[in-house]
Amino acid sequence: MFEKKESYNIAIIGATGIVGESLLDILYTRKFPIKKIDPIASNKSAGNKVRFGDELLEVLDIEKYDFSQTDIAFFSAGSDVSKKYVPIATQSGVVVIDNTSAFRYEDNIPLVVPEVNPSDIEKFSETNIIANPNCSTIQMLVALKPIHDRFNIKKINVSTYQAVSGSGKKGINELLEQSHSYLNQQKITPSIYPKQIAFNVLPFVDSFCDNGYTKEEMKMVWETHKILDKNISVDATAVRVPVLVGHSESITIETLKPINVDTIIDDYTNDNGIEIIDNPDSNDYPTAFMDGHGTDKVFVGRIRKSISSDNILNIWVVADNVRKGAALNSIQIAEKLIEVS
């Protein structure tokens, strides 16, 4: 049973990774009610220092960590780590907010985007686990929730343009190293990605499934059904692009009711989690690195009804995949958990 307190003991598993560092930063800047915070990683990273506000905290070894005094644990160290250590944490009474795919598709574990399905958080008590969705799903559903509420979405067709930070620090390093090699006319040998990512576009994220879609694309299908509406048809194409931080999505939706663009714009304007950047007269639209990077909102632009149908809408959606796509969404789940307890 999660107990409401004035402050909480927090553990960050994967604290030296790009999402772990972002969790530490956002917890501090949002003034999350923390009594004690423990950064945790593998034994090879134990002893390193990570920043939390003005403090430098020593990273602890997960193999030696005692979860018995922890209230909330954020896991962002990969599915294998979550599968091994989340059960240990929950058996100690910890509420786990898991940022990996380890538990997303379990029927008894809530998968939550706070702006979309906040009431599902209350289902955590069966397992003490709340799953954080895939980064691409999060920003898409934040943008589509107001439209679905008004006009009932029937079908989604989405193409994602995903930054290399979705692969962690190693993805960022590969893009930077390949760019340096290309500009200096040196040989490029792909390591993280199957083909060169610098100055290139790869229609491939994660791994291929038997149906010809990639796992990343199927995540958007499965998660939309679990979070928003199981009756919505979803087709996705996930593309890796040579951008450091910030995912972009081109989304076409078909609705059961005729769409009113002015109503959608009004709803977006009144939504604190969404910002519209959409002014064709001044060539103004959201871009991943210039608008999404380092920010906490979901940006929407290129809002236009289909030329051929009153029930089809096209939009362009941008967000920071490390923050709103991972760390921030996890912290918003924790904030909502405290609110409903």
> Side-chain half-sphere of 18: how many Cα atoms within 13 Å?
19
Rounding to the nearest 10 degrees, give the CA dihedral for residues 89, 90, 94, 96.
Answer: 90
- Of 121, 197, 129, give the one whose Cα is nearest residue 166: 197
* 209 carries an active-site annotation: no
Length of the chain: 341
Find the catalytic residue in 135, 148, 180, 293. 135
- Of 137, 26, 134, 12, give the one whose Cα is nearest residue 81: 12
Find the catalytic residue in 180, 209, 247, 293. 247
CA 157 → CA 53, 122, 161, 232, 250, distances in Å?
41, 31, 14, 11, 8
Rounded CA separation 56/209 (Å) = 43
Helix (H) or strand (E) holding 191: none
- Residue listed under structure tokens 């960050």: 12
- Of 252, 245, 61, give the one whose Cα is nearest residue 171: 245
- Of 327, 333, 264, 331, give the one whose Cα is nearest residue 300: 264
* 293 carries an active-site annotation: no
Residue 184 has what DSSP assignment? T
Q: Which 3 state secondary structure label does DSSP give 38?
A: strand
- Of 156, 137, 45, 179, give the one whose Cα is nearest residue 329: 137
Q: What tokens were used for 93? A: 């009474």
Q: Which amino acid, 260?
A: N
Phi/psi of residue 247, nearest 5 degrees: -95, 145
Active site residues: 135, 247
